[in-house]
C-alpha cells in the first residue's frame, strides 16, 4: 500500500511539474509570433529590434544568484509560483506598452520578465530533477517537452489572434491571467513527499558560495548550453522575421514557422528520454547539433516556404535534448549548495544571449537574415569540443565530477 501510494505521488508530481513547464513555455511564446507587429508598431530597424529582444536576457543576467537564493529560502515550488506572478504581469503589460508605442516601457517589461523567468526556470528544473531522482530514470526531456507544448499552444494562439486582428494588449493580459491560474493548480500537484528526494542529504552538506574555482569547472557545460539555446533563439526571435522577410510571407502568417519548429522540438523531447537512456547524452546531443546545422544551412541556401519549414523543423528536433542535458549535468554536480550549480550554468547561458541575438540583427542588416541564422553553426562547433562533459559512457556526470575533483 505504501509503495502504491508513493508511486501515485510520483505520478501526480510528474503531471504537476509537466503542467508547470507547459505554463512557463506558453507565457513567452504567445508574444513571439507577434514580434513583426511589435517591430513595426515601435518603428525599429533589425539592429534596434535585436537589441530590444535581448533586454529580457539582460534582466535574467541581472538576477545573478537570486534563483539559488530563493530555491534555498522558499523552496523550488514556492519560488516557481511567486515569480510566475511577476512574469505573467510583465508579459501582460508588454502588450499594453506596444499599444502605447513605447519602446522604453516594452523594454522594461521584458527586463522584469527575464529576471522573473530566470528564477522560475531554475526553480522548476530543480524540482524536476528531484522527480527524476525519485523515478530512477531519465524523465527530464519529457518534462521539457511539455514546455515545448506550451510554446506550441502559445504560438498558435499568438498567430491566430494576430491573423484575427485582436489587439496585442488584450491578448497578453487575457493569456497571462489564464496561465497564472494553471500555474497555481500545477504547483499544488507537483508536491513530493520528503522521502522522495534522495539528493537532499547532498544539498545539506554541500559547500557554500556562488563564486570560486569550482564554478569554473561548470563553464564548459554552460558553453554547450549557450550553443544549444541559440538554436531556440533563432526560432524565438527570428523565425517570424525570416519568414516575413527572405521567405516572403505576410507578417500575420509568419508566426507559424515558430510553431512548426517548437512542435518538432516537442517530438524530439518526447523521444529524448528513451534515446538518452539507450545511447547516452553525448551521442544524442552530437546528433542533435548536426541536425540543427543541416536545418539552418538548408533554410539559408533555399529560403522558400517548403524547404524553410522543413529546415526549421529539423533544427527544432535536433535541439530537443541539449538544454535538458546541460541542466541535468549541472544539477548533479557535487560540492555545491542546493540550486547553486544549476543557477550558475543558467546564468552563464543567459549571459551568452546578450551578444547573439543583436549579432544576428547586425549580420541581417549587413548581409541579410539568411546569413544571420547561421550563427548557431559556429557556436555548435565550439560546443562540440566540450561535449563529453555531459556524460561519460554509462556513468552520467562523471566528467563533471572528475573536473571538480581536480580543481580542489
Write the CATH number for 230.
1.20.1250.20
Q: Domain range spanning residue 9?
A: 2-407
Average pLDDT over residues 327-339: 78
For residue 310, what pLDDT band results from cuts at 50, 70 and 90? very high
pTM of the model: 0.72
Confidence (pLDDT) at 144: 86
Low-confidence winner among 122-126, 213-217, 385-389 (lowest mean pLDDT): 213-217
- What average pLDDT does the chain have? 80
**C-beta separation of 233 from 288 below 8 A:** no
Cβ neighbours for 306, distance < 8 A, ≥ 6 positions apart: none
Is residue 313's pLDDT more than 90? yes
Confidence (pLDDT) at 287: 92
Is residue 350's pLDDT more than 90? no
Confidence (pLDDT) at 252: 63
Alpha helices in 30-167 (DSSP H): 35-41, 46-53, 55-62, 66-74, 76-99, 103-135, 140-164
- Please give the tally of structural domains in the chain: 1
CA-closest candidate to residue 235, choices 218, 213, 258, 266: 258
**C-beta separation of 335 from 151 below 8 A:** no
Confidence (pLDDT) at 298: 92
Task: Pick the more confident residue, 232 or 318.
Answer: 318
Using alpha carbons only, what angle is made at residue 67 by residues 211 and 61, rounded to the nearest 5 degrees?
Answer: 70
Average pLDDT over residues 223-237: 84
Average pLDDT over residues 12-23: 86
Confidence (pLDDT) at 203: 43
Q: Per DSSP, what are the bridge partners of residue 6? A: none
Per-residue model confidence as pLDDT tens digits over 68-98: 888 888 888 888 888 889 999 999 998 888 8
Amino acid at each position: 500500500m505504501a509503495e502504491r501510494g508513493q508511486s501515485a505521488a510520483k505520478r501526480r508530481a510528474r503531471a504537476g511539474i509537466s503542467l508547470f513547464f507547459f505554463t512557463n513555455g506558453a507565457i513567452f511564446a504567445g508574444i513571439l509570433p507577434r514580434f513583426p507587429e511589435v517591430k513595426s508598431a515601435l518603428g525599429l530597424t533589425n539592429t534596434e529590434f535585436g537589441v530590444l529582444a535581448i533586454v529580457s536576457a539582460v534582466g535574467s543576467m541581472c538576477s545573478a544568484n537570486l534563483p539559488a537564493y530563493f530555491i534555498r529560502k522558499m523552496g523550488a515550488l514556492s519560488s516557481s509560483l511567486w515569480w510566475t506572478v511577476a512574469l505573467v504581469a510583465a508579459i501582460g503589460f508588454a502588450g499594453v506598452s506596444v499599444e502605447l508605442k513605447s519602446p522604453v516601457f516594452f523594454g522594461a517589461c521584458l527586463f522584469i520578465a527575464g529576471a522573473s523567468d530566470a528564477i522560475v526556470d531554475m526553480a522548476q528544473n530543480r524540482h524536476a530533477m528531484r522527480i527524476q531522482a525519485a523515478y530512477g530514470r531519465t524523465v527530464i526531456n519529457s518534462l521539457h517537452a511539455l514546455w515545448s507544448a506550451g510554446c506550441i499552444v502559445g504560438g498558435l494562439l499568438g498567430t491566430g489572434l494576430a491573423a484575427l486582428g485582436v489587439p496585442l494588449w488584450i491578448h497578453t493580459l487575457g493569456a497571462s491571467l489564464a496561465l497564472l491560474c494553471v500555474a497555481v493548480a500545477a504547483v499544488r500537484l507537483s508536491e513530493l513527499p520528503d522521502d522522495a528526494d534522495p539528493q537532499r542529504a547532498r544539498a545539506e552538506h554541500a559547500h557554500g558560495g556562488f563564486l570560486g574555482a569550482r564554478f569554473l569547472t561548470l563553464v564548459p557545460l554552460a558553453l554547450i548550453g549557450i550553443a544549444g539555446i541559440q538554436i531556440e533563439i533563432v526560432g524565438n526571435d527570428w523565425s517570424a522575421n525570416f519568414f516575413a522577410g527572405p521567405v516572403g510571407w505576410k507578417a500575420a502568417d509568419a508566426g507559424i514557422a515558430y510553431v512548426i519548429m517548437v512542435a518538432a522540438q516537442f517530438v524530439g523531447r518526447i523521444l529524448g528520454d528513451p534515446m538518452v537512456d539507450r545511447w547516452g547524452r553525448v551521442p544524442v546531443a552530437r546528433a542533435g547539433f548536426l541536425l540543427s546545422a543541416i536545418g539552418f544551412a538548408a533554410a539559408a541556401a533555399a529560403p522558400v516556404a517548403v524547404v524553410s519549414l522543413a529546415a526549421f523543423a529539423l533544427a527544432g528536433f535536433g535541439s530537443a535534448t541539449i538544454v535538458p542535458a546541460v541542466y541535468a549535468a549541472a544539477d548533479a554536480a557535487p560540492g555545491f549548495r542546493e540550486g547553486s550549480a544549476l543557477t550558475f550554468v543558467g546564468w552563464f547561458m543567459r549571459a551568452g544571449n546578450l551578444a547573439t541575438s543583436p549579432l544576428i540583427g547586425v549580420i541581417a542588416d549587413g548581409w541579410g537574415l539568411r546569413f544571420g541564422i547561421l550563427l548557431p553553426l559556429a557556436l555548435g562547433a565550439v560546443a562540440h569540443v566540450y561535449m563529453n562533459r555531459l556524460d561519460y559512457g554509462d556513468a552520467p556526470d562523471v566528467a563533471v565530477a572528475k573536473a571538480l575533483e581536480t580543481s580542489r
